[in-house]
Structure 1
Amino acid sequence: MEGKTVKQKIEKDEHGNQILQNGFHSTHFVDENINGDICVSDVNAYMVVVVGKTGKVRFRYYGTSAGMVNPFQPKQIVTDSMGQIIVADNNNACLHILHQNGQFLRCVDNCGLEKPCGLSVDSEGRLWVGCPQSGNVKVIQYMK
């Protein structure tokens, strides 16, 4: 990135612990929500981390609130116009929807998702979900 300047580098939380797993095989997906938080799914650490504008970790989510059988495996992450955080859970073929403050709201698991990966929210509040194993893209109206 020639000619670009790093504005902020955040590596550790307030306790001195690494915020994200690093290394060659580590995979992260990133999005910013409406209040400026950076939302990251850390595939290898089986968690979502949300970092505020100041660089402080606001919360971590490990998927346990959804009560799923298989371990939480967060993949793609996206936020919507209400600040909700939507995470594709590859192992459980579902989507976790979190409030912008980290509270688990609901799980979308009744629409035949197969290893959901790609996510996008359009201007009408519909969620577009890519399922690469089947080659399908599903459009879900998840907000009322």
Structure 2
Amino acid sequence: MTTAGQIKQTIQEDKQQQLLYKNPQFVAENINEDVVVVDGYYSTIVVVNKKGEYRYKYPDSSKSSHSIDGCFGIACDNTGCILVSDWGYNKIHQIDMDGRFIQFILTQHEVQYPRGLSIDNKGQLWLFNNDGKEVTIYKYRSS
């Protein structure tokens, strides 16, 4: 929407007129202007390019053995990586801009029930932790 309230773009369907999203929850944009959406009752990340064309889903069962059990937050860093909070498995997934799993940057030993997250301009990761009862700040540097 512009400041005058005019819609600039609607992203809803792929080229075959299939709905891209079942139940969109959160949205972010990465450095190459991809639109990153948490979808499907908090269990799937759907990424489209700036034209609204489908790029990929994460996790993709044909390419990865990882799954998400409740994503309540996403953030994109300055290298194009996407961070995904995984509430049920107590982890933060780091995936590259093409949807490939890189690593878990925090696991159940460091976080409990991670929710919303953000990366500030100092490279720090802000995380609602312990089921949203506290904010924890971590030093974050992507490779």
Q: Taking structure 2 as the reference length, what is the TM-score of the superposition?
A: 0.83
Aligned to 1:46: 43
Alignment counterpart, residue 81 of structure 1, candidates 73, 78, 81: 78
Q: Which residue of 2 aligns with 1:115?
A: 113
Q: 1:72 to 1:13 in 2, by over 3 A?
A: farther
Aligned positions of 1:1-144 closer than 5 A = 3-21=4-22, 26=23, 28-44=25-41, 46-62=43-59, 65=64, 67=66, 71-107=68-104, 108-133=106-131, 135-143=133-141
Residues 111, 130 of structure 2: 8 Å contact kept? no
RMSD (Å), alpha carbons: 2.4
What is the TM-score of this pair, normalised by structure 1? 0.82
Gaps of 5+ in 1: none
Distance 1:44 1:110 in 2: 22
Tell me the matched-pair count. Answer: 138
2:73 aligns to what SS in structure 1?
strand
Instruction: Using the aligned pairs only, state the percent identity.
Output: 30
- CA 1:63 to 1:97, structure 2 compared with 1: closer, same or farther past 3 Å? farther
Q: 1:44 to 1:92 in 2, by over 3 A?
A: same
C-alpha distance in 2, partners of 1:141/1:119? 13
* 8 Å Cα contact 2:38-2:46 kept in structure 1: yes
Q: Tell me, which stretches of 5 or more residues in structure 2 are unaligned?
A: none
